[in-house]
Homo-oligomer: A and B are copies of this chain.
Amino acid sequence: MKLYSYFRSSAAYRVRIGLNLKGLAAEIIPVHLRHNEQHAPDYAALNPQHLVPLLEDGPHRLIQSLAILEYLEETRPEPAILPPDPAGRARVRALAQVIACEIHPLDNLRVLRYLVRDLKVTNEAKDQWYRHWIVEGFDALEKLLAGAPETGRFCHGDMPGLADICLVPQVNNARLAGMDIAPWPTIQRIAAACAEIPAFAAAHPSKQPDAE
């Protein structure tokens, strides 16, 4: 397998964690987003969305991190990153989507660029925007996690899965933005539990071949 990745991309970070959890090796091919390599004709031909990650698995070319992770779960089921029961699976997917559909899309590079270039917002207002959506999302997530008997050492029980895979890169982004995670104690506790797992640690941006 080949993973087109950017060390700082949290969507690529999710897939790196998923591959590691399942013990799968993939050649990392860096695409430098800040240097606009995602818009180069060769890459745009591979992914018309001009985004990372992209996973090549034999003849299959896969985009969108959550779709890639579901594909890995279906083709390499062990160890599982989703629970076996439909209600549990729905809960884990929903927790993942609170991050992947409600926080991350608002804070990614192309959106921040639009704020500055097109809407001419100040750097301060841009940073406030960035933190605002993390606060909104983490407030909801903390309630969903802290109030649920299904929450264990990780987001769902005592094995890491899809929700943790999405949580850790988002917590990393929040910290990079200078945010303190302490107001969300369950998120903080789960992120710390994940950090102890080699599959998560090895996927960290600082451990990537293109890290700066």
Residues of A whose CB lies within 8 Å of any CB of B are: 48-51, 60, 62-64, 66-68, 70-71, 74-75, 86-87, 89-91, 93-94, 97-98, 100-102, 104-106, 110-111, 114-115, 118-119, 121, 125, 128-129, 132, 136, 139-140, 143-144, 147
Q: A125-B119, A129-B114 are in contact. Are A67 and B90 (CB under 8 A)?
A: yes
Q: Are A101 and B100 in contact (CB under 8 A)?
A: yes
Contact residue among B66, B105, B110, B121 (Cβ-Cβ distance under 8 Å from A119): B121
Q: A68-B90, A106-B111 are in contact. Are A50 and B140 (CB under 8 A)?
A: yes
Assembly of this chain: how many copies? 2
A129 CA / B128 CA spacing, docked (Å): 18
Q: Are A86 and B101 in contact (CB under 8 A)?
A: no
Q: Are A101 and B64 in contact (CB under 8 A)?
A: yes
A196 CA / B138 CA spacing, docked (Å): 41
| A125 surroundings in chain B (CB, below 8 A) | 118-119
